[in-house]
Chain A
Amino acid sequence: MLAVQDLAARRGDAGLFAEVDFALVAGDALFVRGPNGSGKTTLLRILAGVTQPVAGEVRWRGQAVGPFAPLLRANALFIGHAPALKDELTAEENLASLASLHGARADGGAVREALGTWALARQRSLPARVLSQGQRRRTSLARLQLVSRPLWLLDEPGTALDDAGAATLASALAAHLTAGGIAVIATHQDMPLSAGVSRWLHLE
Protein backbone atom coordinates (compact mmCIF):
# COMPACT_ATOMS: atom_id res chain seq x y z
CA MET A 1 0.00 0.00 0.00
CA LEU A 2 2.90 2.34 0.77
CA ALA A 3 5.59 2.20 -1.92
CA VAL A 4 8.70 4.31 -2.22
CA GLN A 5 10.82 4.43 -5.34
CA ASP A 6 14.32 5.84 -5.85
CA LEU A 7 13.87 8.27 -3.01
CA ALA A 8 16.70 10.73 -2.38
CA ALA A 9 17.02 13.56 0.11
CA ARG A 10 19.52 16.18 1.08
CA ARG A 11 19.84 18.67 3.88
CA GLY A 12 21.62 21.82 2.76
CA ASP A 13 24.52 20.73 0.53
CA ALA A 14 24.91 17.29 2.06
CA GLY A 15 23.18 14.34 0.43
CA LEU A 16 21.46 12.26 3.09
CA PHE A 17 20.38 9.16 1.24
CA ALA A 18 19.61 8.12 -2.32
CA GLU A 19 17.91 5.27 -4.11
CA VAL A 20 15.79 4.20 -1.19
CA ASP A 21 13.19 1.68 -2.31
CA PHE A 22 10.64 -0.27 -0.34
CA ALA A 23 7.06 -1.41 -0.54
CA LEU A 24 4.95 -2.12 2.51
CA VAL A 25 1.65 -3.97 2.67
CA ALA A 26 -0.96 -4.29 5.41
CA GLY A 27 0.60 -5.62 8.60
CA ASP A 28 4.16 -4.49 7.80
CA ALA A 29 6.31 -2.54 10.18
CA LEU A 30 9.45 -0.93 8.75
CA PHE A 31 12.14 -0.07 11.29
CA VAL A 32 14.47 2.62 10.00
CA ARG A 33 17.91 2.58 11.56
CA GLY A 34 21.09 4.47 11.08
CA PRO A 35 23.51 6.79 12.85
CA ASN A 36 22.56 10.34 13.84
CA GLY A 37 22.25 12.55 10.82
CA SER A 38 21.70 9.69 8.40
CA GLY A 39 18.29 11.03 7.39
CA LYS A 40 15.82 8.95 9.42
CA THR A 41 13.78 11.99 10.40
CA THR A 42 13.95 13.40 6.87
CA LEU A 43 12.69 10.10 5.46
CA LEU A 44 9.75 10.14 7.85
CA ARG A 45 9.01 13.76 7.08
CA ILE A 46 8.99 12.95 3.36
CA LEU A 47 6.60 10.06 3.97
CA ALA A 48 4.41 12.32 6.10
CA GLY A 49 4.37 14.88 3.32
CA VAL A 50 6.09 17.74 5.14
CA THR A 51 9.31 17.71 3.12
CA GLN A 52 9.90 17.45 -0.59
CA PRO A 53 12.30 14.71 -1.70
CA VAL A 54 15.13 15.61 -4.10
CA ALA A 55 14.24 12.65 -6.29
CA GLY A 56 11.87 9.72 -6.33
CA GLU A 57 8.28 9.37 -5.35
CA VAL A 58 6.00 8.08 -2.64
CA ARG A 59 2.88 6.13 -3.57
CA TRP A 60 -0.05 5.40 -1.33
CA ARG A 61 -2.36 2.69 -2.67
CA GLY A 62 -0.83 3.18 -6.10
CA GLN A 63 -1.37 6.91 -6.19
CA ALA A 64 1.63 9.26 -6.15
CA VAL A 65 1.43 11.61 -3.17
CA GLY A 66 3.39 14.85 -2.93
CA PRO A 67 3.89 17.13 0.05
CA PHE A 68 0.67 17.98 1.92
CA ALA A 69 -1.42 15.75 -0.38
CA PRO A 70 -4.94 15.47 1.11
CA LEU A 71 -4.83 11.70 0.55
CA LEU A 72 -1.75 11.47 2.75
CA ARG A 73 -3.13 13.79 5.42
CA ALA A 74 -6.27 11.67 5.65
CA ASN A 75 -4.39 8.37 5.95
CA ALA A 76 -1.17 9.00 7.83
CA LEU A 77 -0.50 9.88 11.45
CA PHE A 78 2.94 11.38 11.98
CA ILE A 79 4.36 11.73 15.48
CA GLY A 80 7.66 13.55 15.33
CA HIS A 81 10.42 14.41 17.80
CA ALA A 82 8.46 17.25 19.35
CA PRO A 83 5.47 16.04 21.34
CA ALA A 84 3.33 18.97 20.06
CA LEU A 85 1.97 19.69 23.52
CA LYS A 86 0.90 23.07 24.88
CA ASP A 87 2.40 23.82 28.29
CA GLU A 88 -0.69 25.76 29.40
CA LEU A 89 -3.14 22.92 28.69
CA THR A 90 -3.63 19.82 30.82
CA ALA A 91 -2.68 16.36 29.56
CA GLU A 92 -6.35 15.66 28.92
CA GLU A 93 -6.93 18.92 27.02
CA ASN A 94 -3.77 18.42 24.99
CA LEU A 95 -4.77 14.93 23.95
CA ALA A 96 -8.36 15.93 23.10
CA SER A 97 -7.10 18.91 21.13
CA LEU A 98 -4.60 16.85 19.10
CA ALA A 99 -7.16 14.13 18.42
CA SER A 100 -9.74 16.60 17.14
CA LEU A 101 -7.10 18.34 15.01
CA HIS A 102 -6.77 15.01 13.21
CA GLY A 103 -10.52 14.91 12.73
CA ALA A 104 -11.17 12.24 15.33
CA ARG A 105 -14.26 12.53 17.49
CA ALA A 106 -12.66 12.43 20.90
CA ASP A 107 -15.24 12.54 23.68
CA GLY A 108 -14.20 12.77 27.31
CA GLY A 109 -14.58 9.05 27.97
CA ALA A 110 -12.38 7.97 25.07
CA VAL A 111 -9.70 10.51 26.00
CA ARG A 112 -9.65 9.38 29.63
CA GLU A 113 -9.47 5.75 28.54
CA ALA A 114 -6.50 6.50 26.28
CA LEU A 115 -4.75 8.33 29.13
CA GLY A 116 -5.43 5.31 31.35
CA THR A 117 -3.87 2.94 28.82
CA TRP A 118 -0.73 5.09 28.75
CA ALA A 119 -0.60 5.23 32.59
CA LEU A 120 -1.48 8.91 32.75
CA ALA A 121 -4.79 8.63 34.63
CA ARG A 122 -3.40 10.49 37.65
CA GLN A 123 -1.78 13.22 35.54
CA ARG A 124 -4.76 14.02 33.37
CA SER A 125 -5.56 17.38 34.97
CA LEU A 126 -1.96 18.50 35.32
CA PRO A 127 -0.70 21.14 32.91
CA ALA A 128 1.76 19.69 30.40
CA ARG A 129 4.50 22.00 31.67
CA VAL A 130 4.85 19.98 34.91
CA LEU A 131 4.94 16.56 33.19
CA SER A 132 8.20 14.67 32.87
CA GLN A 133 9.74 14.02 29.45
CA GLY A 134 8.43 10.45 29.50
CA GLN A 135 4.94 11.57 30.46
CA ARG A 136 4.93 14.18 27.71
CA ARG A 137 5.94 11.50 25.23
CA ARG A 138 3.14 9.22 26.48
CA THR A 139 0.57 12.00 26.17
CA SER A 140 1.68 12.55 22.60
CA LEU A 141 1.62 8.82 21.77
CA ALA A 142 -1.79 8.30 23.38
CA ARG A 143 -3.41 9.80 20.29
CA LEU A 144 -2.45 6.60 18.42
CA GLN A 145 -5.39 5.12 20.27
CA LEU A 146 -7.84 7.91 19.38
CA VAL A 147 -6.98 8.69 15.77
CA SER A 148 -7.60 5.80 13.43
CA ARG A 149 -5.17 5.94 10.53
CA PRO A 150 -3.80 3.06 8.45
CA LEU A 151 -0.29 4.53 8.27
CA TRP A 152 1.71 5.34 11.39
CA LEU A 153 4.93 7.32 11.03
CA LEU A 154 6.77 7.40 14.34
CA ASP A 155 10.04 9.23 14.85
CA GLU A 156 11.95 7.79 17.81
CA PRO A 157 8.74 6.95 19.67
CA GLY A 158 10.61 5.14 22.45
CA THR A 159 12.63 8.19 23.54
CA ALA A 160 12.27 8.85 27.28
CA LEU A 161 9.81 5.98 27.74
CA ASP A 162 10.32 3.59 30.66
CA ASP A 163 9.91 -0.20 30.31
CA ALA A 164 6.18 -0.06 30.94
CA GLY A 165 5.76 2.72 28.39
CA ALA A 166 7.79 0.81 25.81
CA ALA A 167 5.59 -2.24 26.43
CA THR A 168 2.43 -0.16 25.92
CA LEU A 169 3.90 1.18 22.68
CA ALA A 170 4.79 -2.35 21.50
CA SER A 171 1.30 -3.65 22.20
CA ALA A 172 -0.34 -0.63 20.51
CA LEU A 173 1.86 -1.28 17.50
CA ALA A 174 1.04 -4.99 17.46
CA ALA A 175 -2.70 -4.22 17.59
CA HIS A 176 -2.30 -1.72 14.75
CA LEU A 177 -0.48 -4.25 12.54
CA THR A 178 -2.96 -7.01 13.37
CA ALA A 179 -5.76 -4.71 12.25
CA GLY A 180 -4.02 -4.34 8.89
CA GLY A 181 -2.15 -1.11 9.56
CA ILE A 182 1.30 -0.12 8.37
CA ALA A 183 3.99 1.53 10.45
CA VAL A 184 7.31 3.17 9.66
CA ILE A 185 9.38 3.70 12.78
CA ALA A 186 12.71 5.43 13.15
CA THR A 187 14.34 3.94 16.22
CA HIS A 188 17.56 3.05 17.97
CA GLN A 189 15.95 0.61 20.36
CA ASP A 190 14.93 -2.94 19.64
CA MET A 191 11.18 -3.31 19.60
CA PRO A 192 10.13 -6.95 19.70
CA LEU A 193 6.77 -7.30 18.00
CA SER A 194 4.24 -10.04 18.71
CA ALA A 195 2.35 -9.41 15.47
CA GLY A 196 2.88 -8.21 11.93
CA VAL A 197 5.99 -8.48 9.75
CA SER A 198 9.07 -6.58 10.86
CA ARG A 199 11.29 -5.21 8.15
CA TRP A 200 14.46 -3.18 8.37
CA LEU A 201 15.94 -0.29 6.48
CA HIS A 202 19.45 0.82 7.29
CA LEU A 203 20.49 4.33 6.30
CA GLU A 204 24.21 5.04 6.12
Chain B
Amino acid sequence: MSGATAGDGGVWPGVAWSLRRDLRLALRSKAELGVQLLFYAIVVTLFPLGVGADPTLLKALASGILWVAALLASLLSLPRLFAIDFADGTLEQITLSPYPLPALISGKIAAHWLTSGAPLAVLSPLLALEFGLQGPELGVLALGLLLGTPTLSLLGAVGAALTLGLRAGGGALLALLILPLYVPILIFGAGAVEAIRAGVGAGGELSVLGAALLASVVGAPFAAAVAVRIALD
Protein backbone atom coordinates (compact mmCIF):
# COMPACT_ATOMS: atom_id res chain seq x y z
CA MET B 1 0.00 0.00 0.00
CA SER B 2 1.45 3.34 -0.99
CA GLY B 3 1.13 5.79 1.84
CA ALA B 4 0.47 9.44 1.28
CA THR B 5 3.50 11.63 1.79
CA ALA B 6 3.83 14.42 4.28
CA GLY B 7 2.47 17.86 3.54
CA ASP B 8 -0.37 16.60 1.35
CA GLY B 9 -3.08 18.92 2.56
CA GLY B 10 -3.30 22.38 1.07
CA VAL B 11 -4.26 25.55 2.90
CA TRP B 12 -7.33 26.51 0.86
CA PRO B 13 -8.99 23.09 0.78
CA GLY B 14 -8.61 23.12 4.59
CA VAL B 15 -10.21 26.55 4.92
CA ALA B 16 -12.98 25.52 2.54
CA TRP B 17 -13.70 22.27 4.40
CA SER B 18 -14.37 23.84 7.77
CA LEU B 19 -16.08 26.93 6.34
CA ARG B 20 -18.50 24.78 4.36
CA ARG B 21 -19.15 22.39 7.23
CA ASP B 22 -19.69 25.07 9.89
CA LEU B 23 -22.00 27.09 7.62
CA ARG B 24 -24.01 23.98 6.87
CA LEU B 25 -24.29 23.20 10.60
CA ALA B 26 -25.32 26.79 11.32
CA LEU B 27 -28.03 26.64 8.65
CA ARG B 28 -29.35 23.41 10.17
CA SER B 29 -29.95 25.20 13.48
CA LYS B 30 -31.38 28.48 12.23
CA ALA B 31 -32.89 29.24 15.63
CA GLU B 32 -29.41 29.93 17.05
CA LEU B 33 -28.68 32.39 14.25
CA GLY B 34 -31.90 34.23 14.97
CA VAL B 35 -31.28 34.32 18.72
CA GLN B 36 -28.03 36.20 18.29
CA LEU B 37 -29.52 38.83 15.98
CA LEU B 38 -32.53 39.19 18.24
CA PHE B 39 -30.25 39.59 21.26
CA TYR B 40 -28.44 42.41 19.44
CA ALA B 41 -31.66 44.13 18.42
CA ILE B 42 -33.16 43.87 21.92
CA VAL B 43 -30.07 45.08 23.81
CA VAL B 44 -29.77 48.07 21.47
CA THR B 45 -33.46 48.86 21.78
CA LEU B 46 -33.40 48.72 25.59
CA PHE B 47 -31.30 51.88 25.73
CA PRO B 48 -33.77 54.35 24.17
CA LEU B 49 -36.38 52.82 26.48
CA GLY B 50 -34.12 53.17 29.49
CA VAL B 51 -32.53 56.58 29.03
CA GLY B 52 -35.57 58.32 27.54
CA ALA B 53 -36.30 59.88 24.17
CA ASP B 54 -33.98 62.89 24.30
CA PRO B 55 -32.71 63.07 20.67
CA THR B 56 -29.36 64.75 21.44
CA LEU B 57 -28.58 62.33 24.27
CA LEU B 58 -29.49 59.29 22.14
CA LYS B 59 -27.41 60.51 19.25
CA ALA B 60 -24.41 61.00 21.52
CA LEU B 61 -24.78 57.49 22.95
CA ALA B 62 -25.59 55.75 19.66
CA SER B 63 -22.20 54.57 18.43
CA GLY B 64 -21.08 53.36 21.86
CA ILE B 65 -24.26 51.39 22.46
CA LEU B 66 -24.32 49.82 18.99
CA TRP B 67 -20.70 48.76 19.34
CA VAL B 68 -20.91 47.43 22.92
CA ALA B 69 -23.99 45.42 21.97
CA ALA B 70 -22.07 44.04 18.97
CA LEU B 71 -19.21 42.92 21.24
CA LEU B 72 -21.65 41.15 23.57
CA ALA B 73 -23.57 39.51 20.73
CA SER B 74 -20.34 38.29 19.17
CA LEU B 75 -19.34 36.84 22.55
CA LEU B 76 -22.63 34.96 22.80
CA SER B 77 -21.78 32.17 20.36
CA LEU B 78 -18.00 32.05 20.98
CA PRO B 79 -17.95 29.38 23.71
CA ARG B 80 -19.50 26.95 21.22
CA LEU B 81 -16.90 27.63 18.52
CA PHE B 82 -14.69 24.70 19.56
CA ALA B 83 -16.53 23.20 22.54
CA ILE B 84 -19.05 21.15 20.54
CA ASP B 85 -16.37 19.73 18.23
CA PHE B 86 -14.26 19.04 21.32
CA ALA B 87 -17.07 17.13 23.04
CA ASP B 88 -18.08 14.94 20.09
CA GLY B 89 -14.54 14.01 19.06
CA THR B 90 -14.52 16.02 15.82
CA LEU B 91 -11.86 18.42 17.06
CA GLU B 92 -9.44 15.52 17.57
CA GLN B 93 -10.06 14.43 13.98
CA ILE B 94 -9.58 18.01 12.81
CA THR B 95 -6.16 18.25 14.47
CA LEU B 96 -5.15 14.93 12.89
CA SER B 97 -6.26 15.92 9.40
CA PRO B 98 -3.52 16.31 6.78
CA TYR B 99 -4.73 19.90 6.25
CA PRO B 100 -2.85 22.52 8.29
CA LEU B 101 -4.69 23.16 11.55
CA PRO B 102 -4.52 26.99 11.29
CA ALA B 103 -6.23 26.70 7.87
CA LEU B 104 -9.04 24.57 9.30
CA ILE B 105 -9.42 26.99 12.20
CA SER B 106 -9.49 29.98 9.82
CA GLY B 107 -12.46 28.39 8.06
CA LYS B 108 -14.26 27.95 11.36
CA ILE B 109 -13.59 31.58 12.29
CA ALA B 110 -14.83 32.76 8.89
CA ALA B 111 -18.01 30.78 9.39
CA HIS B 112 -18.42 32.25 12.87
CA TRP B 113 -18.12 35.76 11.47
CA LEU B 114 -20.52 35.10 8.60
CA THR B 115 -23.13 33.87 11.08
CA SER B 116 -22.51 36.44 13.83
CA GLY B 117 -20.62 39.62 12.93
CA ALA B 118 -21.71 40.04 9.32
CA PRO B 119 -25.49 39.94 9.96
CA LEU B 120 -25.01 42.37 12.90
CA ALA B 121 -23.15 44.82 10.68
CA VAL B 122 -25.88 44.63 8.06
CA LEU B 123 -28.63 45.09 10.65
CA SER B 124 -26.87 47.92 12.49
CA PRO B 125 -27.86 50.90 10.23
CA LEU B 126 -31.49 49.93 10.74
CA LEU B 127 -31.12 49.91 14.53
CA ALA B 128 -29.12 53.15 14.39
CA LEU B 129 -32.21 54.90 13.05
CA GLU B 130 -33.71 54.49 16.55
CA PHE B 131 -30.97 56.82 17.76
CA GLY B 132 -31.39 59.40 15.01
CA LEU B 133 -28.12 58.65 13.19
CA GLN B 134 -28.37 59.47 9.51
CA GLY B 135 -26.68 59.53 6.13
CA PRO B 136 -22.90 59.01 6.21
CA GLU B 137 -23.01 58.16 9.94
CA LEU B 138 -24.98 55.01 9.13
CA GLY B 139 -22.52 54.07 6.41
CA VAL B 140 -19.49 54.52 8.65
CA LEU B 141 -21.15 52.55 11.45
CA ALA B 142 -21.81 49.60 9.13
CA LEU B 143 -18.37 49.83 7.51
CA GLY B 144 -16.68 49.97 10.93
CA LEU B 145 -18.61 46.92 12.08
CA LEU B 146 -17.77 45.07 8.87
CA LEU B 147 -14.07 45.77 9.48
CA GLY B 148 -14.17 45.29 13.26
CA THR B 149 -16.38 42.25 13.82
CA PRO B 150 -14.06 39.81 11.96
CA THR B 151 -11.32 40.88 14.38
CA LEU B 152 -13.69 40.12 17.25
CA SER B 153 -14.24 36.60 15.87
CA LEU B 154 -10.49 36.09 15.35
CA LEU B 155 -9.46 37.25 18.84
CA GLY B 156 -12.44 35.44 20.30
CA ALA B 157 -11.34 32.18 18.70
CA VAL B 158 -8.01 32.36 20.56
CA GLY B 159 -9.90 32.86 23.82
CA ALA B 160 -12.34 30.06 23.00
CA ALA B 161 -9.42 27.71 22.31
CA LEU B 162 -7.63 28.72 25.52
CA THR B 163 -10.71 28.05 27.69
CA LEU B 164 -11.47 24.76 25.92
CA GLY B 165 -10.53 22.33 28.65
CA LEU B 166 -12.59 24.10 31.31
CA ARG B 167 -15.83 22.37 32.13
CA ALA B 168 -17.56 24.90 34.37
CA GLY B 169 -17.33 28.67 34.10
CA GLY B 170 -15.57 28.51 30.74
CA GLY B 171 -18.00 31.02 29.24
CA ALA B 172 -17.51 33.59 32.01
CA LEU B 173 -13.74 33.20 31.92
CA LEU B 174 -13.82 33.57 28.16
CA ALA B 175 -15.63 36.92 28.55
CA LEU B 176 -13.09 38.11 31.14
CA LEU B 177 -10.23 37.05 28.92
CA ILE B 178 -11.51 38.46 25.65
CA LEU B 179 -13.41 41.64 26.49
CA PRO B 180 -10.25 43.58 27.44
CA LEU B 181 -8.76 42.61 24.07
CA TYR B 182 -11.89 43.97 22.38
CA VAL B 183 -11.33 47.44 23.90
CA PRO B 184 -9.20 48.91 21.07
CA ILE B 185 -11.70 47.69 18.48
CA LEU B 186 -14.51 49.30 20.48
CA ILE B 187 -12.64 52.60 20.82
CA PHE B 188 -11.80 52.94 17.14
CA GLY B 189 -15.11 51.51 15.92
CA ALA B 190 -17.24 53.86 18.00
CA GLY B 191 -14.69 56.63 17.38
CA ALA B 192 -15.19 56.36 13.62
CA VAL B 193 -18.88 57.25 13.98
CA GLU B 194 -18.05 60.10 16.39
CA ALA B 195 -15.47 61.47 13.95
CA ILE B 196 -18.02 61.58 11.15
CA ARG B 197 -20.52 63.30 13.46
CA ALA B 198 -17.85 65.86 14.32
CA GLY B 199 -17.26 66.33 10.60
CA VAL B 200 -13.56 65.39 10.58
CA GLY B 201 -13.74 62.21 8.49
CA ALA B 202 -13.34 58.64 9.75
CA GLY B 203 -10.45 57.54 7.52
CA GLY B 204 -7.96 57.23 10.37
CA GLU B 205 -10.19 55.12 12.63
CA LEU B 206 -11.25 52.86 9.79
CA SER B 207 -7.61 52.35 8.77
CA VAL B 208 -6.75 51.27 12.32
CA LEU B 209 -9.65 48.80 12.27
CA GLY B 210 -8.37 47.47 8.94
CA ALA B 211 -4.83 47.14 10.26
CA ALA B 212 -6.07 45.30 13.37
CA LEU B 213 -8.02 42.97 11.11
CA LEU B 214 -4.97 42.18 8.96
CA ALA B 215 -2.77 41.57 11.99
CA SER B 216 -5.29 39.22 13.59
CA VAL B 217 -5.98 37.36 10.32
CA VAL B 218 -2.28 36.55 10.20
CA GLY B 219 -1.76 35.78 13.88
CA ALA B 220 -4.95 34.53 15.50
CA PRO B 221 -5.43 31.22 13.64
CA PHE B 222 -1.90 30.14 14.60
CA ALA B 223 -2.37 31.11 18.25
CA ALA B 224 -5.73 29.30 18.33
CA ALA B 225 -4.14 26.21 16.73
CA VAL B 226 -1.49 26.02 19.46
CA ALA B 227 -4.16 26.39 22.16
CA VAL B 228 -6.35 23.69 20.59
CA ARG B 229 -3.44 21.24 20.47
CA ILE B 230 -2.63 21.91 24.12
CA ALA B 231 -6.27 21.38 25.08
CA LEU B 232 -6.29 17.95 23.40
CA ASP B 233 -3.12 16.63 25.03
Contact = CB atoms under 8 A, between A and B. Distances in A.
Given A73-B98, A102-B98, A88 B17 contact: no
Main secondary structure on B side of the interface with A: helix
Contact of B95 (A68, A75, A179): A68
Main secondary structure on A side of the interface with B: loop
Cβ-closest 4 pairs across A and B? A82-B89, A88-B28, A84-B89, A70-B6
A84 B88 contact: yes
Chain B: interface residue count, which band?
20 to 34
B1 interface: yes
Name the residue in A73, A74, A82 with the highest tally of chain B Cβ atoms < 10 Å from its Cβ: A73
14 contacts: A50-B233, A69-B6, A70-B7, A70-B98, A73-B98, A78-B92, A83-B89, A84-B90, A84-B93, A89-B28, A102-B93, A103-B97, A103-B98, A150-B3
Interface string B17-45: 10001001100110000000000000000
Contacts of B1: 26, 148, 150, 179-181
B8 interface: yes
A83 B233 CA distance: 19
Chain A: interface residue count, which band?
35 or more
B5 interface: yes
B4 interface: yes
B177 interface: no
Contacts of B3: 74-75, 149-151
Given A70-B7, A86-B88, A148-B1, A97 B96 contact: no
